[in-house]
Structure 1
């Protein structure tokens, strides 16, 4: 309900109470609103902003009431809000002379938390950003994964939309389609980063009228490696081919825990035991995520390997993760080693070997 509608309700309630002979108790209002505050988004042009400076401040231990102060600034702007008691008056006003307002206010007491914003400048910046976001570009990217650190990696690689999803929470075809449709680009490239999501991404491609391409990345390392193979100057066919080939050049390792008792390749694995997977296959199990990560890297690294990247999850502290660097360098002497916060759930470590 807007302010006018609510006022009408109060008016009718008052009339009904008067007819019934009900005594209406007068209460002192703690808030006076001359005009509902106008949000910047409501303006369609800079010329509509009559009073340019949004001014807010507190008056501590005021020498007068908020009503008295309001009367002094009533005609000096719009969107005025005063909230006050004997200890504090908070004021909000749109005005063209914030200095004049503050000069009046300082006579009532000590000022604090003064905030002045140039709404015309803010409006121009908003229009500029809006135009920039609406400009059509050649390529747009959608990537899927979990973890704030993983998200940052993809964002730094110019991914437009990062959808949350993974082994236990896959985005739907509709989610992927909506993400792709909201990108203003000639070509949209999707990185599922999980074998279970490739089908949904492919279905989104088939439904959409946009030019969508799905890179068959089955893991976070594959998605990152594919993006690194992208070249802005190449045409879409060249890029899709290069990124698809790049997916094959990276090995993925994951360290997690068993959700139930199982037997795999003659290994008896108990529930909650730490397990290490290389490209989806269990290669070892034990009680320490760090020890299993080392065993996994030993399995993954070969004479052609040159880079090992360790993404540590939300259950691993930074000190422990950084302590892994020296251990990895001992078993992968010819490789560069990077330790990156992934923040992913479920997996203690995601390992990329290139």
Structure 2
């Protein structure tokens, strides 16, 4: 990519970050979120302090979102379990933001308890993100199921609601683990039940919440010793901190005051490497989707998903469920959901990539929440895959002999964050599968086959998530057409070529598919290939270096191209397809 292209990509990255992040947290200072008039409207009147009525409950949910915004950086940094991908605070916040948005659409007064509960349950279920967000949605749903007909919760009813929330959250998780948010909600609910049994002060729920919050804080502190991953990293559980904030928000709403839960020290994730945080993952992909299905089909679904992954959580009810699993078989995970019912909002995240970014001290990438168009790419080579992802693409691994299936492509399309998708292929053999996937999804899809990996990178650099599908297709196809491509590889046997005879192991240079140079030295052959690609009218050269290229050959090619074409910008990208020593693009 040229400097001009990189600048454009960087500018889009700023826009992407600003649009996708509800708030930017700077240790307690907030900026960047715009509220609708409904969200900014005065809250409805509430009863006397100590009473938990519908208005107070709504206010507690608003405060909870505010607290998650303030603590997001802290919670993200604590996220070492189940994988250290640094997004628990963000996932909790996104889930709760969906609830706040749903509340803003309701009248400030006159909402019946069952209507309020249904709105909260559905919003949290559909808006849930990640393992922690899915569990939180089940907790909120369970509490709403215990809302009294008159809209109030007394001490006994509140304790029973928390117990129900704990039970439902545990039931939703296939393999509950001690030392997580499940432990914290269970311990807090148990203390609330004990406090309610001895409470004789009418309808005041303050002592119940204080008891639950105090035990939640103590339980959170104990998570460090309960879970080996937390012990090694010397942190508390990230999701457990979210439970503490939820109860603190409930207490603040009941007492009509501002919550005072302190922001704790930052953990290791998202800042720098820390001892005890492991990058090795048993399951690389996080798969999540909404499922419309009969409850009778869930047993078979859980069994299928448990056989191919872990961190399995299925929450919901009334025919709508949110499914979450970590797996190495994302296509199979989505297919299992399709057998059980109708899937939608499919999301597939690369956990290994997220962990690598976090352990390297980089913020996890965020996508445009309101983007017009999304990009799905099929590519080969670890370095090239990272480059495409840095340009905002959802990437599927694929190359000669191991192309993605229609099911894999459908899963990637469904998981991409837009209803309009450009599918960029770097191998024409994948076109039939991509066309099949486009026909199998309800999203609008435009398939663009690239002539080569360098041309595909040029097209991806031209992609703009804020442009329409048609606009992106036009500029990306133009970028592919403007890139002339060549290959530098070793001959597998002796042969006569248009450029002369070549011996086994010597270098073979191709320009736009034609053999134009042969030789014993990679550097001289590369120069001839670039010349034949029209260097005299070009602006830049892109060289993708294969994973198995010797360091001496790489240095020789880079050096000779810089010397031979001093006016052209040279971009070298490591980690190309293993079977292709040098892929060259001239544009």
TM range (shorter): 0.5 to 0.7
Distance in 2 (CA, whole Å) between partners of 1:323 and 1:221 is 20
Q: Which residue of the other structure, out of 225, 232, 236, is the alignment partner of 1:116?
A: 236
C-alpha distance after superposition, 1:40-89 (max 9, x if no partner): 75832276469xx939xxxxxxxxxxxxxxxxxxxx899xxxxxxxxxxx
Deviation, structure 1 residue 174: 3.6
Distance in 2 (CA, whole Å) between partners of 1:312 and 1:219 is 14
Structure of higher CA gyration radius = 1
Structural mapping, 1:132-211, within 5 Å: 137-160=371-394, 162-211=395-444
Name segments (4+ residues, structure 1) moved above 6 Å.
98-102, 123-127, 130-134
Q: Say if 1:140 and 1:99 are closer, same or farther in 2 by CA, change over 3 A.
A: closer
The number of residue pairs the alignment matches comes to 272
Check conservation: 1:313, 1:345, Cα contact below 8 A: yes
Q: Which residue of the other structure, out of 190, 215, 218, is the alignment partner of 1:97?
A: 218
Q: Which residue of the other structure, out of 245, 248, 251, is the alignment partner of 2:484?
A: 251
Deviation, structure 1 residue 240: 1.1
Distance in 1 (CA, whole Å) between partners of 2:552 and 2:504 is 27
Match for residue 139 of structure 2? 45
Match for residue 87 of structure 1? none
Check conservation: 2:372, 2:468, Cα contact below 8 A: no
Match for residue 454 of structure 2? 221
Q: Which residue of the other structure, out of 179, 203, 209, is the alignment partner of 1:54?
A: 179
Match for residue 498 of structure 2? 265
Match for residue 18 of structure 1? none
Deviation, structure 1 residue 137: 4.0
Unaligned runs of 5+ in 2: 1-80, 83-130, 141-161, 168-177, 181-186, 190-214, 226-230, 247-285, 289-323, 325-346, 348-365
Match for residue 332 of structure 2? none
Deviation, structure 1 residue 350: 1.3
Match for residue 202 of structure 2? none
SS of the residue aligned with 1:218? coil
Q: Which has the higher helix share?
A: 2
SS of the residue aligned with 1:240? helix
Q: Say if 1:320 and 1:142 are closer, same or farther in 2 by CA, change over 3 A.
A: same
Distance in 2 (CA, whole Å) between partners of 1:142 and 1:292 is 34
C-alpha distance after superposition, 1:91-140 (max 9, x if no partner): xxx974269869x9xxxxxx98744324333578999xx99889674212
Match for residue 345 of structure 1? 578
Check conservation: 1:188, 1:213, Cα contact below 8 A: yes
Q: Which residue of the other structure, out of 318, 321, 329, is the alignment partner of 2:554?
A: 321
Match for residue 69 of structure 1? none
Q: Say if 1:290 and 1:327 are closer, same or farther in 2 by CA, change over 3 A.
A: closer
Distance in 1 (CA, whole Å) between partners of 2:368 and 2:463 is 23
Distance in 2 (CA, whole Å) between partners of 1:101 and 1:209 is 47
Check conservation: 1:187, 1:210, Cα contact below 8 A: yes
Match for residue 285 of structure 1? 518
Match for residue 267 of structure 2? none
Distance in 1 (CA, whole Å) between partners of 2:486 and 2:402 is 20
Distance in 2 (CA, whole Å) between partners of 1:133 and 1:232 is 9
Distance in 2 (CA, whole Å) between partners of 1:208 and 1:243 is 22
Check conservation: 2:544, 2:575, Cα contact below 8 A: yes
SS of the residue aligned with 2:416? coil
C-alpha distance after superposition, 1:166-207 (max 9, x if no partner): 234333334323322332412110111123223332333234
Distance in 1 (CA, whole Å) between partners of 2:220 and 2:416 is 44
Deviation, structure 1 residue 319: 6.6
TM-score calculated relative to the size of structure 1: 0.63
Q: Say if 1:259 and 1:224 are closer, same or farther in 2 by CA, change over 3 A.
A: same
Check conservation: 1:230, 1:239, Cα contact below 8 A: yes
Check conservation: 1:54, 1:119, Cα contact below 8 A: no
Distance in 2 (CA, whole Å) between partners of 1:100 and 1:237 is 53
Distance in 2 (CA, whole Å) between partners of 1:168 and 1:273 is 25
Distance in 2 (CA, whole Å) between partners of 1:99 and 1:120 is 6
Check conservation: 2:409, 2:437, Cα contact below 8 A: yes
Unaligned runs of 5+ in 1: 1-37, 56-75, 79-93, 105-110
Distance in 2 (CA, whole Å) between partners of 1:187 and 1:235 is 8
Q: Which has the higher strand share?
A: 1
Distance in 1 (CA, whole Å) between partners of 2:566 and 2:368 is 48
Distance in 1 (CA, whole Å) between partners of 2:452 and 2:552 is 25
Distance in 1 (CA, whole Å) between partners of 2:469 and 2:508 is 39
C-alpha distance after superposition, 1:295-319 (max 9, x if no partner): 3223224321110121211112557
Q: Say if 1:95 and 1:346 are closer, same or farther in 2 by CA, change over 3 A.
A: same
